[in-house]
Amino acid sequence: MKRSKWLILTLVILMGILYYKVSNSERTISTACFTNEIQKVKQEGKYYLEIKTTKEKVRCMKEEYDRVKNGDGKLLYSLMYKKNPFLTKYFRYEPRLLWLEVKKLE
């Protein structure tokens, strides 16, 4: 009986440490890039935007994926995405796109 109490206490402490690591390591990243600095990637039915300036591959929805156009660099994209380095390293968690804004340069 005494052994199971220590085991439960140890598991609760370890879960608390894991929760603390996961919740405190999430980052929100904002960046802007031109058309030639962003690439559309479709893998296994999932949509990604590969950003060359930050060297990130961000998962997005089909609507956002379709808004990105390949061209000569006359469009400016403003992106914001969430990334959790702890989950990415240990659980293959993918950064998620929060919003995408497109501006045309004259």
Kindly report the average pLDDT of the chain as a whole number: 86
- Residue 36 domain-assigned (yes or no): yes
State pTM to two decimals: 0.72
Residues 31 and 95: their CA atoms lie apart, in Å, by 14
- Residue 64 domain-assigned (yes or no): yes
The answer to whether 31 and 70 have CB atoms below 8 angstroms apart is no
- Give the chain's largest Cα–Cα span: 75
Please give the average per-residue pLDDT across 65-88, as a whole number.
84
Domain count, the chain: 1
- Residue 7 domain-assigned (yes or no): no
Please give the average per-residue pLDDT across 74-103, as a whole number.
87
Kindly list the distances between the CA atom of residue 1 and the CA atoms of 4, 12, 65, 93, in Å, as whole numbers in the listed order.
5, 17, 56, 38
Alpha helices in 25-50 (DSSP H): none
The answer to whether 21 and 51 have CB atoms below 8 angstroms apart is no
pLDDT for res 16: 87
- Residue 1 domain-assigned (yes or no): no
Print the domain residue range for 87: 26-104
CATH of the domain at 98: 2.40.50
